[in-house]
């Protein structure tokens, strides 16, 4: 049967329409396809570097839905919630601060359940639990849950001795951060035998200084690591009546004053370093969150 001119042109239109429809389907499928996880995480890290932690988590929370088995998405989300919490003034919004640390705990736990050998998950879980204790009050929190201190210590030690970890940049990594955190941990808990019996672990200012030195040796340009070493040295000087340790602590903190801050927390650490140089007696109970009382009497 011969085609008329209309039939021929109409057939071409049908073919063209089918082609356009097929192309639209392909483009729509590509647009709806999940983005490459590495690209999403890279974008989130750029936002986090700009201190846009909520926006970073907006990307990562979507990634957790589309790629629930990705090894890094959980601890990355936990870290961002921690960073949001760190920037909330406890005097203005204690509940909001706690809420962010609880979110950090929630996501680190999810990550640890999926990847128990990945140190980043253990590290951020310990951080989240530690910050909740500091926000609520270390002594009261640990006395209400006498297994908590030991659990935190074990998570930090797992990260400090890790063979598998993913977080690393030019100024830190998970192993160094865990050593830094252990430096804080062993400084803030009393060293008495009774505390060890109650908690399953106890403070140790020599361990505190040791772990801080490890972190600083790994990343000497990290302001927070240097500040914490100075704090632990001042604390040792106070507890052991050791003028040499106090002098070294002040020297380290004076060095911190000369370092260039990269973010809001660095600026706070530099301000705190000035305060601690002026009054070394604050060192043993110092934290960014609030000053703590770390004597044995609070752990009975």
Alpha carbons 283 and 290: distance in angstroms, whole number = 12
251, 149, 131: which is closest to 203 by C-alpha? 149
Within 8 A by CB and 6+ apart from 152, the residues are 126, 129, 130, 133, 185
Distance of CA 224 to the CA centre of its chain: 13
* Tally of CB atoms within 10 A around 262: 13
Contact (Cβ atoms closer than 8 angstroms) between residue 282 and residue 276: yes
Q: What does each of the 300 residues of the chain score in pLDDT, given as a tens digit?
A: 433 343 334 444 444 444 555 555 444 444 444 579 999 999 999 999 999 999 999 999 999 999 999 999 999 999 999 999 999 999 999 999 999 999 999 999 999 999 999 999 999 999 999 999 989 888 888 888 889 999 999 999 999 998 889 988 899 999 999 999 999 999 999 898 888 888 899 999 999 999 999 999 999 999 999 999 999 999 999 999 999 999 999 999 999 999 999 999 999 999 999 999 999 999 999 988 777 666 555 555
Give the pTM: 0.81
């Amino acid at each position: 049967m011969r085609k008329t001119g209309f039939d021929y042109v109409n057939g071409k239109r049908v073919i063209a329409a089918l082609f356009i429809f097929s192309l639209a389907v392909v483009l729509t499928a590509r647009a709806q396809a999940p983005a490459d996880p590495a690209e999403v995480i890279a974008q989130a890290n750029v936002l986090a570097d700009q201190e846009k932690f909520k926006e970073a988590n907006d990307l990562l929370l979507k990634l957790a839905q589309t790629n629930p088995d990705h090894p890094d998405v959980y601890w990355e989300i936990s870290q961002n919630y921690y960073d949001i919490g760190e920037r909330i003034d406890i005097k203005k919004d204690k509940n909001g601060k706690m809420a962010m640390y609880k979110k950090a705990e929630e996501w680190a736990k999810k990550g640890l359940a999926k990847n128990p050998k990945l140190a980043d998950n253990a590290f951020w879980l310990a951080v989240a639990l530690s910050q909740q204790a500091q926000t609520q009050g270390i002594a009261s929190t640990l006395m209400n849950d006498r297994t908590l201190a030991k659990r935190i210590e074990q998570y930090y030690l797992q990260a400090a001795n890790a063979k598998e970890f993913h977080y690393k940049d030019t100024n830190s990594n998970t192993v160094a951060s865990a050593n830094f955190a252990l430096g804080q941990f062993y400084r803030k808990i009393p060293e008495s035998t009774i505390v060890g019996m109650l908690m399953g672990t106890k403070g140790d200012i020599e361990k505190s200084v040791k772990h801080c030195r490890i972190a600083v040796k790994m990343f000497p340009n990290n302001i927070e690591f240097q500040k914490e070493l100075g704090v632990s040295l001042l604390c040792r000087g106070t507890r052991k009546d050791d003028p040499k340790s106090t002098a070294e602590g002040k020297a380290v903190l004076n060095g911190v004053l000369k370092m260039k801050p990269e973010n809001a927390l660095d600026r706070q650490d530099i301000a705190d370093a000035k305060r601690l140089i002026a009054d070394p007696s604050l060192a043993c109970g110092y934290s960014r969150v609030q000053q703590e009382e770390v004597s044995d009497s609070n752990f009975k």
